[in-house]
Chain A
């Protein structure tokens, strides 16, 4: 009797082992996935936070070029509105270019032959006068010269936006996937080997049937009934539990996603392509979205901004005709708003673009590739908070406003980088008031 009870106990405990092993396996797989996800996101942010190098002059030139010139000129030989500026320094001297940039009409009026011809060649469209300093103009052309050479080397593809996947990242995740595959295979192999061994042992025992005690015989002759396993309480309960958990998770996800419009890409009244304007022609975002460095709202460009260029370019296109129509009828264009932050949250573009110097792509995704603009970020509070936790305040060094904060950070948390969180970036009244 005593023996018997022992045996039954044993068989029950083997069941336990199996279940335990399965759960462990599952847990293991999950945890690996999670670890990947975390590693992934930190890497991305670190990559995005990295700054660009380059000489000060070229920096100035780049900034001015992107802010003022790209709507009409390209660094390549391509004609946008005005001539492409590839090799401009070979064609013209800087002494000629400076007065031209400052006031091209004055140069034309002075009777300069080249200038008059140029003016005639480009349909007599007047180049805007810029009130730059001489050094600034020199910086612009230095940058143009450098950039045009680089373009010639790289040609395709256009430089990827920061924050996009880089090869090293995809490499690392591939490696982890491979490891995972191997592990799973090994586990299955072990499982298979165990099964084979089990069947071998039971076969061997069956042959020695007569030598076995009654209790042992019972165990050996026991039939592995698949149905009974599925009908067992544990399995049914487990399945039911999994199902409930699944439903719960889906519901919760659904609820938390109410109002989250990630991926929202509505059709706009005019098929404006950011890929063409921001991507191919590299027009600075601030040229059209005039408020982006100034205030809370980046602003949707008014029709007169479109007209700066489309006065002379592609006038016949049916899409551009829509702008003309709007102006004629005095009816503003009703764009569909894509990024809808709820009223209770205060977000200011200037703080992020002007002060923190973040690239637009950080939140808006690879806008330069988008034919139709899509909401890339979820714009949830968790997303905001995450970024504020992880982003290191790099710009604080050159901004006197942050002096006291840096001083305090150095004093109390020396060694760790100063994140937005460290300077109060997670406090309620930073965004809610």
Chain B
């Protein structure tokens, strides 16, 4: 095998050769197996008792089978057939996160959320949170009826009381999260007309107030503009996690990835966007950047002024030499790509955002990559009004308040103040559907429906509409907030009727696509989305798109942004007031939990963070250097004091983080939530108001291990990641590829696939496979959650994750590498300051020469004639030989019967509670204790797709079968398909070539398929397991010539 010029390491433990790590390094499973509860040791008598019981039970079972009932509908709805799924278009919107979705229902129950491919915003993609949102519907902790003084109450009684109280009130406030539904806004207006003292305040817990205010000052439009990363050749981001959490990550990820797709046939002209990231903590976006520069949080803001000056041609310089080099380079690249670049900042400071707007204006990006004429409506929060409201409440100036979709007591920096002051408000109503900190203080809870039980409309962006439709009747006696508001306004019309009337007057008039209202309504319900003529329509089909674009160039009116009128000079002055804060404590939101509204969602709690791979708590991440200075190591609990608050969290060492910064995620530390979300981590929202606070940390004598899913499985120093830089790739499309060779006894060197004991398989019909583009994967982990839902993967909880027993079928391995190259582990230490990051989705590789298959003593894992490595759970006896023999460590063992075991009822309520079970996919077995499981390439979907083709008497069409991970992926990094179908996307991506080998000795001819794509490789090719899953090399647009391909470059298209 070729010597690697780069050494990858999966975590600090591996780098520093941690004692604990070395101990576990070669073991897949931990040695200690605390299976039994304490004081419950089994002995011989127990065994005999148990045996006696089982014999008795078995004979009883043999005597009489239990009677099972089959209960059909009384009156079956026409389009609803048991066992056949139905799909309904709807809209997901939560805390700024928008996606047009299609809801899969079985037997009348929503079981899965998919993206709506007709949507021009989310483009058929969803995020982990949108995926997981379905579980909130089946959360047993939901309010099951209206509540009055924390006791269940009847709707009519509550309505009457509230109406009377509202009539008596003279200062009513509605505090809502951003409302993107035009009809809901009309209802609020109607409510205001009935109760004229009402004021509506919009509050986003993680708002874009700075951004909207900057655009108000700059362009007179108080809104978040639309961004188009697919047109940006140079992206410079200052602490902005636009791929993970900023404004519209699903959309931005897709656009971003478009600029990073490569076609090896035209490798000489290959183009990629160039991405600079200046940030304090290591964000998911930073991990994807071509140039990542760690800077302190204060600098994230002040560097904007430096960059602005540089672009203006003045001689401003960053203090730090390394930063200066990078910034100089960024400025140069930006000036070369005027009108085709983007500068973004994650800051919520108005002055910072004015500077960003000024920079983008200077570069001519408005009306090119930024569009302020079709703004987004997803962030309308007004921080000033919210602060005024809190002041009003404190001064007793409010006598009735309605909370709609917000939880300010928890997630507002002044939450504690509000909590104390709320007693002064006479009438407090909440529409929350689950208990939370704010609702707990309310007199009435008029619990809202889950969005899957609701009607609605949405206008996430000017001119872009989508509808929400119920996919199930309300499970509990809850009522849509809109309907409650209507009733209190004295309008007894059901919201559905109201919505229809509203649409007929509003949206129906704005469009030309449908004639007749009923046509319009069914049409838009079916499609889920509608773009009015005001906004540019983008056609979904790729081929049409190309022609369309040409055509549109002429007649599409060029949208001109107004003249920029912001005052950049005074902004610079203000921005420069951000001084170095010593030890800077910063907050951020996690890709998984966001603002913590979904804290009770175990799927999200267990989703590993893309960077730290930690779950089930927040922690203080800091650079190893800072930690060393403070005498801290992983798992030490520290007390962080900053601003007016202090809290205790464990430490997590994060390479790449700026020194002297401590980053802690918001969204944790919920005091009142469900069983899953309560008291997980610490609440740091009090710090969220500012970009950073200077603070102190002190070590406590406590330790609290952070549950991480990585560093458990070692990489063994093998060439798993293969990567190159763009210039190298341009010169040679197989740059970075490593072609291992095997030495044989005769002293010759062979390609690994040429020396084999295996007969191999021939796939005559299908040859299913996956190809994963490492260049597109951003690490967002939506696939992990989508797979978990599709395949009934259990949630195991923090304790089990700590024992490395998480059950995810697909994991995203995150590898750090040192760009300078090294020859030994110890060499790496000094370069760990700012590692390069690669994400690698890893799931069962469906090996043709599968090591797991050969060691299974009971043939529970076998090979199919379509290239799948199949797992028969009922045959498995749990020897775990297969997991031990799996080179990719993708097999998961059921240590417990997670669906029945009472120790998992809290975390795994998905499978243990009657309500949670409704979300289980009926086509996939819920695995029992003692069996192995793993990725099946969504065999249930393959079978369903094949059956459809058979019913239609045709071949399977490429793209009609999608795996769950592929379907959700916002960047299309994963492609599934039939590698025997030469026209399929996967065959093209891999450059599959078909060759017929003449059969010898009277044998029939053999068809051989081989990969010709220079970027394509199999992980661990040297062990000759021949996976069905292939990867495409990671290409970084970072000029740097790696020392790579010396010597072996000649083996292009190797095997």
Contacts and interface: CB of A to CB of B under 8 A. Distances in A.
A22 interface: no
A299 B73 CA distance: 10
B197 interface: no
A302 interface: yes
A291 B82 CA distance: 8
A427 B70 contact: no
B744 interface: no
B994 interface: no
B870 A254 contact: no
B74 A330 contact: yes
B323 interface: no
Given A351-B950, A411-B1005, A295 B84 contact: yes
Contacts of B943: 346, 348, 430, 433
Given A291-B83, A294-B81, A332-B73, A405 B764 contact: yes
A427 B873 contact: no
Interface of A: 254-255, 257-259, 261, 264, 266, 290-291, 294-297, 299-305, 326-327, 330-337, 340, 343-344, 346, 348, 350-351, 354-355, 398-405, 407-408, 411-412, 423-424, 427-430, 432-433
9 tightest Cβ-Cβ pairs between the two chains A and B: A408-B764, A429-B870, A302-B76, A297-B83, A296-B83, A302-B73, A428-B872, A337-B70, A424-B865
A299 B873 contact: no
Given A332-B74, A351-B950, A424-B866, 15 more contacts: A261-B65, A296-B83, A300-B72, A302-B73, A330-B74, A332-B73, A336-B68, A336-B69, A344-B873, A400-B954, A401-B954, A404-B764, A429-B872, A433-B871, A433-B924
A432 B764 contact: no
Contacts of B947: 348, 350-351, 355
Contacts of A254: 62
26 contacts: A258-B61, A259-B65, A290-B76, A291-B82, A295-B83, A297-B83, A300-B71, A302-B72, A303-B72, A326-B74, A333-B72, A335-B70, A336-B68, A336-B70, A337-B70, A340-B68, A346-B923, A350-B947, A403-B955, A407-B764, A412-B1004, A424-B765, A429-B872, A432-B870, A433-B870, A433-B871
B953 A295 contact: no
A412 B1003 CA distance: 8
A305 B84 CA distance: 19
A333 to B, nearest CB: 7
A433 B925 contact: yes
A401 B72 contact: no
Interface in B916-954: 923-925, 936, 939-940, 943, 946-947, 949-951, 953-954
B395 interface: no
A291 B84 contact: yes
Report which residue of A290, A294, A332, A429 has the largest number of chain B beta carbons within 10 angstroms of its beta carbon. Answer: A429
Contacts of A411: 1004-1005
B82 A427 contact: no
Contact of B58 (A258, A300, A401): A258
A251 B900 CA distance: 31
Given A427-B862, A432-B925, A344 B76 contact: no
B84 A428 contact: no
B71 A404 contact: no
Nearest to B766: A404
Given A304-B76, A340-B68, A405 B870 contact: no
Contacts, number: 164
Contact of B82 (A258, A297, A355): A297
B75 A302 contact: yes
B67 interface: yes
B84 A335 contact: no
| Chain B interface helix/strand/loop/mixed | loop
Contacts of A351: 947, 950
B765 A405 contact: yes
A398 B953 contact: yes
Interface in B71-117: 71-76, 81-84
Contacts of A403: 955
Contacts of A346: 923, 940, 943
Contacts of B65: 259, 261, 264, 340
Contact of A429 (B74, B76, B81, B939): B939
B198 interface: no
B74 A400 contact: no
Contacts of A290: 76, 81
B956 interface: yes
B72 A332 contact: yes
A266 B66 CA distance: 11
A224 to B, nearest CB: 46
B925 A304 contact: no
A129 to B, nearest CB: 16
Contacts of B953: 398-401
Contacts of A291: 81-84
B82 A401 contact: no
Nearest to A336: B67
Nearest to B70: A337
A327 B872 CA distance: 43
B875 interface: yes
Given A299-B72, A429-B939, A355 B951 contact: yes
B575 interface: no
A128 B74 CA distance: 21
B864 interface: yes
A330 B74 CA distance: 7
B591 interface: no
Contacts of B707: none
Contacts of A432: 870, 872-874, 925
Contact of A404 (B58, B82, B765): B765
B971 interface: no
A185 B943 CA distance: 57
A249 to B, nearest CB: 15
B69 A335 contact: yes
A83 to B, nearest CB: 29
A53 B387 CA distance: 83
Contacts of B946: 401
Contacts of B71: 300, 332-335
Contact of B875 (A257, A295, A428): A428
B56 to A, nearest CB: 13
